[in-house]
Amino acid sequence: MAKERTLSIVKPDATRRNLTEKINARFTARGLKIVAQKRLQLSRAEAEKFYAVHRERPFFSGLVTFMISGPVVVQVLEGENAIALNREIMGATDPAKAAPGTIRKDFAESIEANSVHGSDSAETAKREIAFFFPDI
């Protein structure tokens, strides 16, 4: 296994409920280091660009509106196998299908307001990290 970096986002439903520290504790407990982190408000144009891969999906417009409904915390997680490990810690997209002990099972409100984002491949991680952290 190689040391990797992945892009994580604490979504507006979670920042609204002050869950960032609890979510970060899930990452660090499993050996992921938070090597960069910032809280920001996405514009509609930024959210549309970030989720451009989903633009043809029926949930795209709702997803963008949700992602700009409050601040997000964007972060770079680093560790062995970080991309897959973070996906495991997050749990399935739909909290009803997420495994016990995962972030989405414990905190998500719905399939849309599901508390966290995590890159799904090495290629995506590279692009998503550059989107928010062009200098690291």
- The interface mask with ligand GDP, positions 16-35, x = CB under 6 A, is --------------------
* Terminal Cα distance for the chain, rounded: 22
Alpha carbon distance 60, 82 (integer Å): 27
From the candidates 12, 77, 117, 125, which is the catalytic residue?
A: 117
Both structure tokens of 55: 């633009």
Interface residue with ligand GDP among 28, 61, 65, 93 (CB under 6 A) is: 93
Q: What angle do CA 112, 117, 118 make, to 5 degrees?
A: 145
Handedness of CA 123, 68, 78, 111 (dihedral sign): negative
Interface residue with ligand GDP among 42, 47, 63, 83 (CB under 6 A) is: 63
**Cβ contact 91:98 at 8 Å:** yes
Catalytic-residue membership of 54: no
Alpha carbon distance 87, 64 (integer Å): 21
Residue 62 touching ligand GDP (CB under 6 A): yes
- Where does this chain touch ligand GDP (CB under 6 A) — which range of 18-26, 36-44, 109-117, 125-133? 109-117
Number of chain positions touching ligand GDP (CB under 6 A): 9
Smallest distance, ligand GDP to C-beta of residue 135, A: 25
What residues are annotated to the active site? 117
The footprint of ligand GDP (CB under 6 A) covers: 59, 62-63, 93, 111-112, 114, 117, 120
